[in-house]
Structure 1
C-alpha cells in the first residue's frame, strides 16, 4: 500500500494519478491534513518516505505554481524509486495535444515546443514530437471551420447487442431495453427537433453530425429511418462537412441498415472489432465472430462506403504482442480508411473494473503488470508501424485515466479521411450540441471582458449541459433536458 498525505485538497488529484501511473497495482490511500508539517508526504510500498517541505513551495506561488512544485518533486522521486520514466511525464489530463495547439497558435516552432514540453512536463521526445505533429494536422482541419457560428451535433443511442466487459458508457443491452426503445426514440426526436429549431433561429451552421452510443445500429432499419429522417427535416446540410454513424458491432449490421445509412448520405461509418482474436471476443462479451467482422466490412464497401473507420484495443485480457501483430495484419488486409487504436482503460463503472475491485488485482484480468507493460509497449509500436504501412497518419490523440501502460489513444487516417468530429471533441474549439441519454453538450460562449486601459473585449467560456444517464429518466424528464439546454444554448 502507498500512503499520500497532503496539506491541501489541491494536491490530491495530480499526486494520486501520478502515483497510480508509476504503481498501477498498488492500493493508494490519501489523507488531507492542513496542519501537517510538510506540504506533501508519501510512503512508498517498502516503507520509505518522501516529502515536499512547505519551504520548497515558491514564496507567493499561486495555486497552479504550488501544484506544479509538488508534482515535479513527486515525479522525480517516483522515477528514482522505480527506475522508470513515464512517456507522458507529469501530464494527467486527457488532452496533451491541446497544449501543443496553444503553443502552435502562439507562434512557437517545433524544436522550441519539444524542448519546452520535455523540460516543463518531462514528456518524452517521441511523445512531444507526436503531439506537435498531430496539433499541426488538427489546425489545418480546424481552419476550414467557422468555429464561432458553426457547431457539431452528437446523437446518443444507448443500446448494444450485449455490454462488453470493459465498457463504462451509459448503455444497456438490447434484451433489457427492447420494450423502451420506442419511447426513447420519441423523446430523442423531440429533443432533436428543438435543437434544430433553436439553431435555425440563431443562424448557426451545422458542420458535423456524429451518431454514437452504445451501438446505433442496434436500432432496426425502420427505427434508423425514423431517426435519420428527423435529422434531415430539422437541420440544414448547407455547411455539413462530415456525417458519421458508429455502425460498431458486426452483430448489429445488416445490408438493410447499411442501405438506410447510404440513403441518408452518411459519409463515414465505424465497424469496430476491438480485436481479431476470437477467444478474446468471447472473453469480453462480444457475441460475434471474426468472420462476421470481415463480412460486415466487405458488405459496407460493396454498398459504396468509402470512409470506414475501425477501432482496436491494445491490452485486452490475455492478449500478447503476437496477438496484436496478427490482428493488425488482418486489419491491413481489409484496408480501412482510418484506424483508432485505444489502450485499455479499466474504469470502475465497467464490469471488468468491478471484477478488479473484487479480486484486488488487475493481474488476474490482464496478466502480470511488468509483463503487460512490455507487451503494451510492443503493441503500441506495432500499431504505429502498421498504420504507416497502410498509408494512415496520426491525426488526433487523447488519454484516459487508468490506461494500461500509461499510453494513449490515437486515431490514424488517410489523407482527407480524418474524423473532424473527433478533433473537435478533443480541442474544444466549437460548440457540440448533444442529444440523448448521458449526452454532454459543450457550448462555447463569448463573454464580455474588461481589458486594461478601459478597453472592452471578450473571453470564450465553455459551458457544459449534461443529460441524465438513466434511460428511463431521460424519457420521463425530456422537457427538463430541453429546458436545461435552453438556459445556455446560444443565448
Structure 2
C-alpha cells in the first residue's frame, strides 16, 4: 500500500486538499502532518503560503506507477484578497470560495501530471454536483455557460458535465411548485434490518436482537411524531419519507400504529409525495404491503442491490433473487404503481457481465425508477473493518459499467433526475436516480439540493434546518443507539424544539 504524507505548513483548505489527493490515491494510507516527521513516505506533499500564493510541492522516493516519472514537482495558486480580487469581490465568503477553487484547480493539475490520469468529476470533492449546476442556472447562466464553467473551472469531464446539467434542469422542473420558504419534508427512520449488509454504515440493527423492543421503539417514535407536528404547525408539509434500516421489519400492527399517528399529527392532505422504503425483499409480506396500502403512500422501494445470488450471499443479504421478484410482483398485484429499485455497482466480485445480468432481470420486472449506487465503503462498514478478509476480492467499477446502467435506464423509458456522490466511491463516480415521467422521487431531490428543512425523526435521525432563504443550514441530531433513543426521547424532542424555535 502506498504511504503518503501531507505537510500542512498552512492549514487553509486542509480538508479539500486531503480529499482531492485521496481521490487520486483511494487505496493509499494518507497521513496529515503539521511539522516535519522523520517517517518514510512513498510520496510527500507540502502546502505552504506566502503573501501572494499557495505553494504546493511533492516529492517521492520511488515510482508509484509507470506513468509517474517525475521525482519532484511544484505548483502555485494565487491568493485573492479584498485589495487584489478585482471585480469588486468584497464578501469574505465569496473570497474564500475563490481561493478554495484556485488551490484545488492548481492541485488537480499537479496530480494529473503526477499520475497521468484525470478524474470524471474533475476537482470536485463535494457530494452535490447537481446542486452546483442548479445554482449556476438559477443565477441566470444559460446551460451552455454553466457547462463551460464546470468544464473549465472545475475540470469536470464533458460526459459528467452533461449529466449534471441535465439533472439540474429536470430537478428545477420537478420542484417548481414546492414552497421552499414555508414548506418542509419529514424523514422517519426505522433502524432495524433482517441482517446487516457487508457494506452498510447506516444506523441499522439486526432485528433478531431487537424484536422484543420494537414496540417500545414505535411508542417513542410516535411520541416524537406528535410533539414535532406541534413544533411545525403553520408550515406546509411537502413530502414524507419512511426509510431505514428497513421499514418493513415492523409488523403490520406497528406499521398501522405509526402511520395512524403520522396522519393524526401531521395530516396527509396536500402531500406532493409519500414514500415508504419497503427495502429488503425478505421483510416484505402481503400483510405488510396491504397495511401500507391503507394510507396515501405514493411510492415504495423493493431493493435487490444485485440479482446475482452469489453476491447476495457474500454481502450478507439473506434473501434470494427469487424473493426479490416475488416481492415486486406482489406489490404490483396490490396496486402499487410507483416502485423504485436500488442497485449497487462495484460489489465484491462483480464484473460488467454480472451487472448486465442484474440489469436484464430488473428490466423484465419494469420498475418505475431505479437508483444506481456506486459502492462507497465507509469507516463503519464491516467490509472496511474486516478488509483483510476481503482483500483478495475484486471491486470493479468503471465508466463502461456506468454507461451500461445509463443505457439500460434509457431503454426502460427512464431519465436521470438526481445524483449525489460519497467519499471513497469506487472509481470516483456517483449515485444516479433514473425515473420515468412523473415517477421521480421528490424527497430525494430535496434532501440533496438542500432547498428546505428536512425534519428527521427516529434513532440516528439528522434534521437539516434550512433558513435565511437557503443560505444557512443547521443540523439537529438524534442519538443513534436504539436504547438511548428510547430512554432519552424527551431529550431528543427538546433538542428539536430548541433548534426549531431558534432557527425556523
Q: Normalising to structure 2: TM-score of the pair?
A: 0.89
Q: Which of 364, 368, 387 matches 1:333? A: 364
Structure 2, unmatched stretches of 5+, are 37-45, 50-54, 64-70, 86-94
Show the counterpart of 1:41. Answer: 57
Higher relative helix content: 1
Paired with 1:346 and 1:44, the residues of 2 have a C-alpha distance of 28
3-state SS in 2 of match to 1:9: coil
1:351 corresponds to: 382
Of 16-25 and 470-479, the range deviating more from structure 2: 16-25
2:229 match: 196
2:484 counterpart of 1:473: yes
Task: Give a deviation string over 1:137-164, Cα, whole Å, max 9, x none.
Answer: 1111111111111111100000000000
Q: Does 1:275 align with 2:291?
A: no
User: Which residue of structure 1 aligns with residue 281 of structure 2?
Assistant: 250
Q: Deviations over 1:59-114 (max 9, x none)?
A: 76754343333322221121122221111000000001111111111111111111
Correspondence for 1:366 among 394, 406, 430: 394
The within-5 A match list for 1:18-417 is 18-33=20-35, 39-44=55-60, 46=62, 48-52=71-75, 57=79, 62-200=95-233, 203-356=234-387, 358=388, 363-367=391-395, 372=396, 375-417=397-439
Q: Matches of 2:117 and 2:391 in 1, distance apart?
A: 20
Cα distance, 1:363 vs structure 2: 4.8
Report if aligned partners of 1:168, 1:348 keep a CA contact under 8 Å in 2: yes
Distance 1:296 1:78 in 2: 47
Q: Matches of 2:471 and 2:102 in 1, distance apart?
A: 29
Q: In the TM superposition, what whole-angstrom CA distance separates every residue of 1:190-225 from its partner, at most 9, and x where no partner exists?
A: 00001112222xx11111100000000011111111
What residue number does 2:18 align with?
16
Distance 1:43 1:342 in 2: 36
Asked if the contact 1:196/1:235 (under 8 Å) is kept, the reply is yes
Closer, same or farther in 2 for the Cα pair 1:45/1:156, shift >3 Å?
Answer: farther
Q: Tell me the CA shift for residue 366 of structure 1.
A: 3.1
Residues 75 and 110, structure 2, Cα contact 8 Å, conserved in 1? no
Alpha-carbon distance in structure 2 between the residues aligned to 1:439 and 1:238: 24
Return the alpha-carbon distance in structure 2 between the equivalents of residues 36 and 115 of structure 1: 29
Q: Structure 2 CA distance, aligned partners of 1:33 and 1:382?
A: 47
Measured after TM superposition, the shift of residue 116 of structure 1 is: 1.1
Indicate the larger mover: 263-272 or 17-26. Answer: 17-26
Partners in 2 of 1:145 and 1:130 — Cα distance? Answer: 23
223-232 vs 68-77, greater mean Cα deviation = 68-77
Contact 1:41 1:50 in 2 (8 A): yes
The answer on whether the counterparts of 2:282 and 2:319 sit within 8 Å (CA) in structure 1 is: yes
Partner-residue secondary structure (3-state), 2:409: helix
2:461 is the counterpart of 1:439? yes
CA shift for structure 1 position 16: 1.7
User: Which residue number in structure 1 is paired with residue 88 of structure 2?
Assistant: none
TM-aligned CA distance change 1:472 to 1:118, over 3 Å: same
Within 1, Cα distance between the matches of 2:48 and 2:485? 49
| Structure 1 stretch displaced more, 40-49 or 158-167 | 40-49
Aligned-pair RMSD on alpha carbons? 2.0
Partner in structure 2 of residue 449 of structure 1: none
Partner Cα separation in structure 2 for residue 37 and residue 320 of structure 1: 43
Equivalents in 2 of 1:187, 1:7: separation in Å? 49
SS in 2 for 1:422: helix
Structure 1 residues 208 and 77, CA, compared in 2 at 3 Å: closer, same or farther? same
Classify 1:154/1:295 alpha carbon distance in 2 versus 1 (closer, same or farther; 3 Å): same
Q: CA deviation at 1:44?
A: 4.3
Offset at 1:43?
Answer: 3.7
Question: Once the 2 structures are TM-superposed, how far is the Cα of residue 444 of structure 1 from its aligned partner?
Answer: 2.1
The 8 Å contact of residues 199 and 383 in structure 2, kept in 1 or not, is answered as yes
